[in-house]
Structure 1
Amino acid sequence: MEQPKRTLHELKIALAILRMNAVARSSRHRLISSSALFFCWRNSPPDTLIEVLQARITGRYAQDTFEDFIKRVEDITLGHRALDIEAFLSARKPSAAKIPSAIRNAEYKRALEDAVDIPEELYPPMQDGMLSRTSPDSELLDYPVISYSREPAQQIYTTYPIYYGTDRLLEPGRTVKFGGFRSEGTIAYGVAEVSIPHIHREGKLERPWLWPTQTKGNPNKHIVVHSNALLALDAWFTSAKEYLSHQGIGQDPSKKEGLLFIHGYNVGFDAALWRAAQLCHDLKFPGLMMCFSWASLGTPGGYPADEATVDWSAANLRQYLTHVTEQLGLSALHIVAHSMGNRALLSVLENWKLKPGTTPIHQIILAAPDVDTSRFKQIGQVFHTFEQVTLYASRHDRAIAVSRFVHSYPRAGDANPPLVMSSLSTVDVSVAGKDMFGLGHSYIADVSKVFRDLFYVVRHRHKPDQRAGITKRDEGYWELT
């Protein structure tokens, strides 16, 4: 794979972090592990490295030090060995294949000393006997990082299995972890156990306030991923079928249905699982809950990279959907796509053919689609082949407004005015707030009305004229009241 080009500022920040790591004895005192930095350096799209690192750095000390590096990057100077370390970072030297052992090598540490010079004041504060800025045998001050790692004694939450597929690159480590980088075109399949606390409010995504997404959280208070297991494709099929068989006791046909969530821009892997579980809980969905997580970079500044990736992911989503509809024996499949995720889904649906004996796609919900309106109309010619296609749009969605400004063309998720076309049920949800599924954004109380409407679409397959809480406008669209 071709290595992305890095800027001088990115090189300075990377070498400064490696230099700090070299003088820290304990891993908990590093801004980010050297192995993780190497991984990000080699996989982050161009001009995104700083933001990618920032999203992964946790703890007050680490975040503050990183911010200081960014503010004073002009004061970080490179030495005559900088290109040697840069070549090592970019895997242009054979020794780069063994990163953990190489970064402990004395020659590597000497090269770092000659590669970068960090101003004295950018080093963390010292206490006698605790830190030497040049000695690798010293330790940095211990700054606490808040994290809930233990399960509470009393379990006041409900756990849901999420059967996912993802084309994200699996990151090195002892646990299953997917970041924002693309795989080599392969799809990983797995099952994650995600819990919803009993204090959960409809439409809300309970997470620790003002703490990084890497923080696990308290399952009695927050939505939490408890476990994540990768499975071979055949094992994934078997597990899903066994779950459906267990759910189907009593012969309720709805328990043989599947619900697939496809997230939008600026969404990490865990955040996609949180939202999938929240949808399953709020919609009281009794069947198989699934999630396709495309390789969103998961950072606000990653919009251009996400745009390129979601188009790349369409072929992988098609493969995932093919497996789901042909191998699981579902009686029906419903799909909820949000924001930019609609681009991949619509690209697949444009040429989707229902094969005899496979699962039909029934309800398709396009929430705030960040899709060119004219392109949406082109694809919309196939909407009549599905049971019902519902579009949720809002005049107050700031993300859609920004996209409209950037692209200079209207977006289908905008309601200025709402899009009206045959075989499409458009619902203007402007009264519900800024963003129905906006991960990390604020909510207002009326968002529950949107989930109420979604409940009747997914669970009961009601047409708009069968649903309370929405009214028909003369222009041909429906409006949340």
Structure 2
Amino acid sequence: MKYTGRRTSFELKIALAILNMNTSITEPHKRLISSSQLILCWRNAPKETFIETVESRIIGKNNHDRFMVLIQRSQEIEITHNSGEVEQILNGGQNRKQSILSIVRESRFQRLVKSSISAPSDLIREGLIRITHAPKDFGGHARLDDGNRAVVSYSSVPTPQKYTLYPIFFGTDRLLESQRSVKFGGFRSNDKVSYGVAQVSIPHIHKEGKLERPIFLSRILKDNPNKHIVVHAKTLLDLESWLESAKRKLTNVLNTNSSHKEGLLFIHGYNVDFEEALWRSAQLRHDLKFPGLMLCFSWASLGSTKGYPADEATVDWSASNLKEYLTNVTENLGLTALHIIAHSMGNRALLAVLENWENKPGATPISQIILAAPDVDAKRFRQFGRVFNSYEQVTLYASRNDRAIAASQLVHNYPRAGGANPPLVMDHLSTIDVSSAGKDMFGLGHSYVAEVSKVFRDLFYIVRYRHKPDQRAGIMKKEEGYWELT
């Protein structure tokens, strides 16, 4: 839910300080965050997450250092009587139809901002980004110009393409923050699902289950697709065009292998931003050697470790939007089967949809459902389990060593389905105890499926060949009725 009331005085102080900085900085790349982005965060970040949301959008270590200095010295900033009028504008109280960009460009707004606080000049003055060495990942040489900015020069010899490009057909209920660059942040849309296609590359040096990304400093410059998983392009489409594009892709698949006109849908968990959801989708498509259509539904997670309460509320809100997306996939694409992998908190939206799902005659059947480390109350999970017999196979991956699930259990005071103390045993459910694999699953302290080959190979035979547990090597059945990774 959007927070439309007053922010705290501390949040207002930081917002006004950043806006003041921006009025004196003429070069956009030197700003911690643009004024437009800051106002967007102000109006959309859930209560008490404004500071964390702004911090998550700041790129570069030096910029983060500058931001932390501002936070630490905030007691030196005093708010003036003009701050009330600026706050009213930030809240959108004067003209709700006026665009944010037009607001920040108004000279009157800039004058009000400059007179809204009193602070030491050295705290508000322009800062510089300094790079002291050349990053190694870009095939070029970095140096500092006279303005202490990084300048990168490249060799004139073309770099050979050493990666494979995959189309990811996504749906998202995130707020579209930039039409031009197709930028989706962590805020909710107005109950609208956006459809599009992203082109994501996997480098040839990729190791199964890994998510190759550059070191943090390199985000100031550019990803190298020969070494990193990279989103090359994102294209928004209306629903009709999206369906036509997906059907064309399936026609190409059908021409090469008529038995693999299938779809694989990935639904991410808590603390995942839009780009990361696309990275993981491409990684699964590549590592599972899945020949069909790769799909991704990205709900509006804040992408912040401190956003857990907000993500909990949002994932419940997202269920109806996921249902719309899933309905279009199963009724309008002509897939022979659809497999779904849901992770962590994303299981809540999926299970809420499946609990009342009706597979219409002629629609694509949902075949394999993989519930990876579900952050779902164990007893509520049992209630969802009443409909598991409607699907070909439902698999639960759980672990006693999953740190994120353990933390969630402490917060909620009740066992989670993704834990294994003991593993859940239910009719029409294949439970796999993967405690021996490690502590992680798909990142954020629980990425063992993506990073441990034994578990990943088990997933491979589920998705590619629909094997039951007794047909798969590497797991053994326990007397209690669940399966265990050997």
Rounded to whole Å, the distance in 2 between the matches of 1:221 and 1:156 is 8
Match of 1:32 in 2: 33
TM-score normalised over the length of structure 2: 0.91
Match of 1:422 in 2: 427
Match of 2:408 in 1: 403
Match of 2:19 in 1: 18
Report if aligned partners of 2:339, 2:463 keep a CA contact under 8 Å in 1. yes
Query: Where does the alignment leave 5 or more consecutive residues of structure 2 unmatched?
Result: 129-145
Match of 2:136 in 1: none
Relative to structure 1, the CA distance from residue 430 to residue 277 in structure 2 (aligned partners, 3 Å threshold; closer, same or farther) is same
TM-score normalised over the length of structure 1: 0.92
The question of 1:209 aligning with 2:210 is answered no
Match of 1:59 in 2: 60
Match of 2:188 in 1: 182
Alignment of 1:318-357 (within 5 A): 318-357=323-362
Query: Where does the alignment leave 5 or more consecutive residues of structure 1 unmatched?
Result: 128-139
Q: What SS does structure 1 have at the residue aligned with 2:216?
A: coil
- The RMSD of aligned alpha carbons is 2.4
1:201 corresponds to which letter in structure 2? K
| Runs of 4+ that moved beyond 6 A | 145-148, 212-215, 440-446
Report if aligned partners of 2:22, 2:35 keep a CA contact under 8 Å in 1. yes
Alignment of 1:34-433 (within 5 A): 34-94=35-95, 97-123=98-124, 142-144=148-150, 153-172=159-178, 174-211=180-217, 216-254=222-260, 256-433=261-438
Q: Cα distance, 1:446 vs. partner?
A: 6.8
Q: Cα distance, 1:431 vs. partner?
A: 1.6
Match of 1:131 in 2: none
Q: Cα distance, 1:345 vs. partner?
A: 0.3
Match of 2:133 in 1: none
Q: Deviations over 1:190-209 (max 9, x none)?
A: 00000000111111011112
Q: Percent identity?
A: 61
Relative to structure 1, the CA distance from residue 145 to residue 335 in structure 2 (aligned partners, 3 Å threshold; closer, same or farther) is farther
Q: Cα distance, 1:152 vs. partner?
A: 6.7
Q: Cα distance, 1:2 vs. partner?
A: 6.4
Q: What SS does structure 2 have at the residue aligned with 1:249?
A: helix
Higher mean alpha-carbon deviation, 60-69 vs 153-162, is at: 60-69
Match of 1:137 in 2: none
Report if aligned partners of 1:265, 1:339 keep a CA contact under 8 Å in 2. yes
Relative to structure 1, the CA distance from residue 216 to residue 333 in structure 2 (aligned partners, 3 Å threshold; closer, same or farther) is farther
Higher mean alpha-carbon deviation, 384-393 vs 206-215, is at: 206-215
Q: Deviations over 1:387-406 (max 9, x none)?
A: 00000011111110000000
Relative to structure 1, the CA distance from residue 98 to residue 384 in structure 2 (aligned partners, 3 Å threshold; closer, same or farther) is closer
Rounded to whole Å, the distance in 2 between the matches of 1:393 and 1:143 is 48
Relative to structure 1, the CA distance from residue 124 to residue 479 in structure 2 (aligned partners, 3 Å threshold; closer, same or farther) is farther
Q: Deviations over 1:31-54 (max 9, x none)?
A: 111111111111111111111110
Relative to structure 1, the CA distance from residue 143 to residue 398 in structure 2 (aligned partners, 3 Å threshold; closer, same or farther) is farther
Report if aligned partners of 2:337, 2:365 keep a CA contact under 8 Å in 1. yes
Q: Cα distance, 1:468 vs. partner?
A: 0.4
Rounded to whole Å, the distance in 2 between the matches of 1:381 and 1:99 is 48
Q: Cα distance, 1:327 vs. partner?
A: 0.3
Q: What SS does structure 2 have at the residue aligned with 1:169?
A: strand
Report if aligned partners of 2:201, 2:225 keep a CA contact under 8 Å in 1. yes
Relative to structure 1, the CA distance from residue 235 to residue 468 in structure 2 (aligned partners, 3 Å threshold; closer, same or farther) is same
Higher mean alpha-carbon deviation, 32-41 vs 288-297, is at: 32-41
Relative to structure 1, the CA distance from residue 126 to residue 251 in structure 2 (aligned partners, 3 Å threshold; closer, same or farther) is closer
Rounded to whole Å, the distance in 1 between the matches of 2:125 and 2:149 is 11
Rounded to whole Å, the distance in 2 between the matches of 1:445 and 1:229 is 27
Report if aligned partners of 2:59, 2:219 keep a CA contact under 8 Å in 1. no
Report if aligned partners of 1:48, 1:301 keep a CA contact under 8 Å in 2. yes
Q: Cα distance, 1:474 vs. partner?
A: 1.1
Rounded to whole Å, the distance in 1 between the matches of 2:342 and 2:77 is 44
Report if aligned partners of 2:373, 2:419 keep a CA contact under 8 Å in 1. yes
Relative to structure 1, the CA distance from residue 260 to residue 220 in structure 2 (aligned partners, 3 Å threshold; closer, same or farther) is same
Q: Cα distance, 1:113 vs. partner?
A: 2.3
Q: Cα distance, 1:216 vs. partner?
A: 5.0
1:100 corresponds to which letter in structure 2? L
Q: Cα distance, 1:417 vs. partner?
A: 1.1
Report if aligned partners of 1:58, 1:145 keep a CA contact under 8 Å in 2. no
1:161 corresponds to which letter in structure 2? P
Higher mean alpha-carbon deviation, 86-95 vs 285-294, is at: 86-95
Relative to structure 1, the CA distance from residue 126 to residue 379 in structure 2 (aligned partners, 3 Å threshold; closer, same or farther) is closer
Relative to structure 1, the CA distance from residue 302 to residue 279 in structure 2 (aligned partners, 3 Å threshold; closer, same or farther) is same
